[in-house]
Structure 1
Amino acid sequence: MKWVRTQALSGRLFGGAWLSLGSAITAEIAGRAGYDWLLIDMEHGCGDYGDLMRQMQALSASSSGVIVRVPKADPSVFKRVLDMGPAGLMVPNVSSADMAGEVVRMARIRPGGDRGVAQTTRASGYGAEYEDYIASVNGGLLIVTQIESRRAVDEIDAIAAIDGVDVLFVGPLDLSIDLGVTHDSPEYADAVQRVARAARRHGKVAGVLVRNEQQAHTYIQQGYSFIAMGSDRGQVIKGMQENAMLFSNLRDSVREAG
């Protein structure tokens, strides 16, 4: 588990993708593709907790680190997800230093936090690795806070200063909507630059979700290194639409030939 946090914080390009379909088969396919990390989305994804466990089991044979985006900052949600043993946790819409500190406390066990533990969970190898897990989990879990609002950008230095926050991850759609601007506006560009600068000042990492290679290059040039390129849902939509268009073009060709 700890290698994911170590690699993410190294500052090298650490590339991943979203898993939103709730499918263990899709997760297994993605795991074989060679991503550094894969995020299972419990906020906007299609799966439930049973699907989460099956996806994590499907990814256990892969070299990709597993990160889970929880639907909200809630101690009962954190405990249930973390007991399954992900390498990292992403928390949506972290908008203040107080909230960031609470996220860290909910994710860490005592004395560093308030998270309760059980001995025979998947995270501890069903008890076989319990002592090692307890000794390493606080320092090994990657904590990713999503920056998705004007308030979060205004408080970005205070959020970045919280011990235990590792990645400041911009949610482009939510952030642009909250700012009331488009992605190509100067105000949005200033916001993402402020996030990158705060990450550098506090020894943290800047992350973002992108849709294509051009967007990735733009963010990399600004100092972003923890980058997700699209999702399984988006890939299926794109592939199906392209196939359907192919048949439409074939029909046109047949009609012209006749």
Structure 2
Amino acid sequence: MKWARQRALQARLFAGSWLNMGSSDTAEIAGLAGYDWVLIDLEHGSGDHKDLLHQLQALEAYPTAAVVRVPNIDAVVFKQVLDLGPSGIMVPNVETAEQAHQLISCVRIPPLGKRGAATSTRNSGYGFHYAQYLAEANDNLLVAAQIESRIGLANVEAIAAVDGIDVLFVGPTDLSIDLGLSSDPEQPEFREALVRIATAAQQHGKVAGTLVRNPQQARQYLALGYRFIALGSDRGMVIQGMKANAEFFSTLATAA
């Protein structure tokens, strides 16, 4: 989506969900449901490069921005993913400003970076809109850096200061484990870390984001200044629904 980055930076709340299953069906359902954005997960998800293409095609009909999480900072992977035309990219465990500069160089087209551009790929309308894409790509791509470690937290202000980083996205499970804390946003020490990240984002004109487990956490993070929030995942929702139905049948059988 051409304006996804601008919408994400300006919205009071940019609400999304996680897509772990590599399924074009759940991607389409997310678009129909009306999410502002979804995260297509190539780090811990089940899908591959071909699944990514089908998920992006399924979302094309809806005003839902597709952000793709890659496994690490890899220029080749960035190029392959961005050639398919997502609205944004998320990079796990960014720990230093140097890493942030490296990832920005990999995703930006010259003269602002080192990413190559091809004339016949999906992101440029298979060549029909190549000149327009070339002119607008650097401004339109949303870039999220995940803060998931003690080192990343220590360097969060320097990471936030890097031009091109739009979202500081907390990985609450990994960050809490590395800090030796509970991931409860009301736990004082973890809350202090969350406030530090949100403050760094605000001071540098960026957005703070995270993945939450329930509506209560969404409210807690919003109150802390987080505006780029994902609630749950397709895999989690399927697990919850199937588990609830199975438990119902178990109860029904016992009562019968």
Normalising TM by the smaller chain, what interval? over 0.9
Residue 26 (structure 1) shift: 1.4
With the length of structure 2 as denominator, give the TM-score of the two structures: 0.98
Residue 180 (structure 1) shift: 1.3
Aligned pairs (5 A) from 1:18-97: 18-97=18-97
Q: Distance in 1 between matches of 2:189 and 2:175?
A: 11
Structure 2 counterpart of 1:187, from 178, 186, 189: 189
Which position in structure 2 is the counterpart of 1:216? 218
Which position in structure 2 is the counterpart of 1:154? 154
Percent identity, please.
Answer: 57
Structure 1 counterpart of 2:255, from 237, 253, 256: 253
Which position in structure 1 is the counterpart of 2:17? 17
Aligned to 2:144, the other structure's residue is in SS state strand
The 1:150–1:67 alpha-carbon spacing in structure 2 relative to 1, beyond 3 Å, is same
1:196-220 CA distances to partner (integer Å, 9 max, x unpaired)?
0101111100000001110000000
Gaps of 5+ in 2: none
Aligned to 2:90, the other structure's residue is in SS state strand
Aligned pairs (5 A) from 1:98-109: 98-109=98-109
Q: Distance in 2 between matches of 1:17 and 1:165?
A: 21
Residue 187 (structure 1) shift: 2.1
1:130-164 CA distances to partner (integer Å, 9 max, x unpaired)?
00000000011000000000111111110000000
With the length of structure 1 as denominator, give the TM-score of the two structures: 0.97
Gaps of 5+ in 1: none
CA RMSD of aligned residues (A): 0.8
Q: From the CA coordinates, give the structure whose radius of gyration is larger.
A: 1
Residue 29 (structure 1) shift: 1.2
2:232 maps to 1:230: yes
Residue 169 (structure 1) shift: 0.2
Aligned residues: 254
Q: Distance in 2 between matches of 1:186 and 1:103?
A: 32
Which position in structure 1 is the counterpart of 2:136? 136
